[in-house]
Structure 1
Amino acid sequence: MTDRLTIATWNINSVRLRLPIVEKFILEQAPDVLCLQETKCPDANFPEAAFRKLGYPHIAINGQKGYHGVATISRRPLANIEKRGFCDKGDARHIAVDVAFSDSPLRVHNFYVPAGGDEPDAAINPKFGHKLDFMAEMKAWLNGAETERPAVLVGDLNVAPYEHDVWSHKALLKIVSHTPVETELLEAIRSHGGWIDAMRRFVPMEEKLYTWWSYRARDWAAADKGRRLDHVWVSPPLADRLKAMRVLRAARGWDKPSDHAPVIAVFEE
């Protein structure tokens, strides 16, 4: 019997503020697992009851007041929950869980990488230095045993790595999220661990692919000055089970939206 698993990732930019559109997304798309970033909510205040009511009783949270925060909610049981710290900051930026899939557990990493501030120079912008240090720790960890098993890495990685992951490669080369030092480091994390870019498996490199559109644009859809900041990576043992991917662009236009759109990946065994 075929097992089909859908995993969605979405930077929600405050889970309590945007709970109505999260509920709308769940009712329309019904992913098996939903990974949220930038929940901006301490664990005690996370709206667990709302998710349980929607049929998602399994919830793993790593939150903090007002900033950052990640949460993985699921219709399937979650096991081996891990909250990894980075750069000795105490920030809530990662949570990993095992989800039952076919005959083996599937490791799901949920990340929210630091944005890095506005100036792409670590010497004068500590936020950018923090981002690079955070990514260096990711590179040192996310290989070997982490990629020798079925695993998915999702989240807002805050880097648009390829030329057509941004609306203008030339205009954004000196803009944080698309500078060469960031794009090369993200690619090093991915390639060092053997991770496969699930989104680009379905969208050719020469085609534009975005998941984020700034709030600053008067008409975000017409301007379409997007970036692909949200990602889905799969480990080599899972590659053949990856069957589909899509960005739900329409969600960027919902009432009181996040500036990110959800990404949905489908796996079958």
Structure 2
Amino acid sequence: MPTTKIASWNINSVRARIEIVEQFLRTEQPDILCLQETKVEDGTFPHAPFEKLGYVHRLLAGQRMHHGVAILSRIPLGEHGRHDWQDNGEARHVGARLPNGVRLENVYVPAGGDIPDPAANPKFAQKLAFVERMTRWSEDLREPTLIVGDFNIAPLESDVWSHKQLLNVVSHTPVEVEALTRMQAAHGWVDLGRHFFPAPARLHTWWSYRSPDWTVNDRGRRLDHMWASPEVAKTAVAHRVHEDCRNWLKPSDHVPLVTEFDW
């Protein structure tokens, strides 16, 4: 039975890593690819490689240097606007409506800096406020929706290589975990990663560039997520994390996620 495959990947500059994006599209053949941290303005987005591979439908929210998100698709997309959950104009969200009526939301949550104290670190305060705005939006959501992207939070103890050592490290602090848990409860979101790979199974999507060989110590975190409304989650039939992409030439520090749906 044919399925619809949706991929999500923080690519850390789509122009710098267009070769591995093309490699992934050729080998995995997703129907839709959601990219975060594209680091390119809409006017200079590299359209040609996607056009050549059949991804002729594109929705962009670009920005110079940092941020930026994009949805590339082989199936038609209805534009569904952008949310400024950062409340400062940063390009961190783009939404689409799929032919079956499902909303697809692609989001790049701020990293939050290094100090996990909103009083001492404005970037951390902005991150918490971003998640709070997403939570308020989730409360009012009445349509079948899939939200994907780099949430920059690893919520479960088994989502990081060492819960004890990362408790005070931004991305796994109790205040961030609590904020993301409230967001999940606000709409009854189903975490598709943990739906298919229940905790405490190892499930990582990011490894720091600081490690000379990420495979040796495997100090990963699950920062990238796919969450679905309950009715959408019922149609999910498979989920994979493509760790092998972390070994590709000039890789991103994140790897792609792919979920297949019975559509």
Query: Which interval holds the TM-score relative to the shorter structure?
Result: over 0.9
The unaligned stretches of length 5 or more in structure 2 are none
> Secondary structure at 1:82's aligned position in 2?
coil
Distance (whole Å) between structure 1 residues aligned to residue 236 and residue 124 of structure 2: 33
- Alignment match, 1:117: 113
> Secondary structure at 1:72's aligned position in 2?
strand
Q: 1:260 aligned to 2:254? A: yes
Letter in 2 for 1:248: H
1:143 and 1:194 in contact (8 A); partners too: no
- Alignment match, 1:240: 234
Deviation at 1:121, TM superposition (A): 0.4
- Alignment match, 1:193: 187
2:59 and 2:79 in contact (8 A); partners too: no
Letter in 1 for 2:260: V
Equivalences for 1:130-141 in 2 at 5 Å?
130-141=126-137
> Secondary structure at 1:143's aligned position in 2?
helix
Distance (whole Å) between structure 1 residues aligned to residue 242 and residue 85 of structure 2: 30
Q: Number of residues paired by the alignment?
A: 263
Q: 1:179 aligned to 2:178? A: no
Equivalences for 1:96-107 in 2 at 5 Å?
96-100=95-99, 104-107=100-103
Deviation at 1:149, TM superposition (A): 2.4
Distance (whole Å) between structure 1 residues aligned to residue 87 and residue 33 of structure 2: 27
Letter in 2 for 1:116: G
1:10 and 1:155 in contact (8 A); partners too: yes
Deviation at 1:63, TM superposition (A): 0.6
- Alignment match, 2:207: 213
With structure 2 as the length reference, what TM-score do the two structures score? 0.98
1:246 and 1:263 in contact (8 A); partners too: yes
Equivalences for 1:1-269 in 2 at 5 Å?
4-100=3-99, 104-144=100-140, 146=141, 148-269=142-263
Deviations 1:16-71 (A, max 9, x none): 00000000000000100000000000000101121011100000000100010000
With structure 1 as the length reference, what TM-score do the two structures score? 0.96
Distance (whole Å) between structure 1 residues aligned to residue 139 and residue 171 of structure 2: 23
2:109 and 2:150 in contact (8 A); partners too: yes
1:60 and 1:81 in contact (8 A); partners too: no
Deviation at 1:167, TM superposition (A): 0.1
Distance (whole Å) between structure 2 residues aligned to residue 188 and residue 52 of structure 1: 39
The unaligned stretches of length 5 or more in structure 1 are none
Superposed CA RMSD in Å reads 1.0
> Secondary structure at 1:105's aligned position in 2?
coil
Distance (whole Å) between structure 2 residues aligned to residue 113 and residue 37 of structure 1: 9
Deviations 1:120-143 (A, max 9, x none): 001111100010011110000023
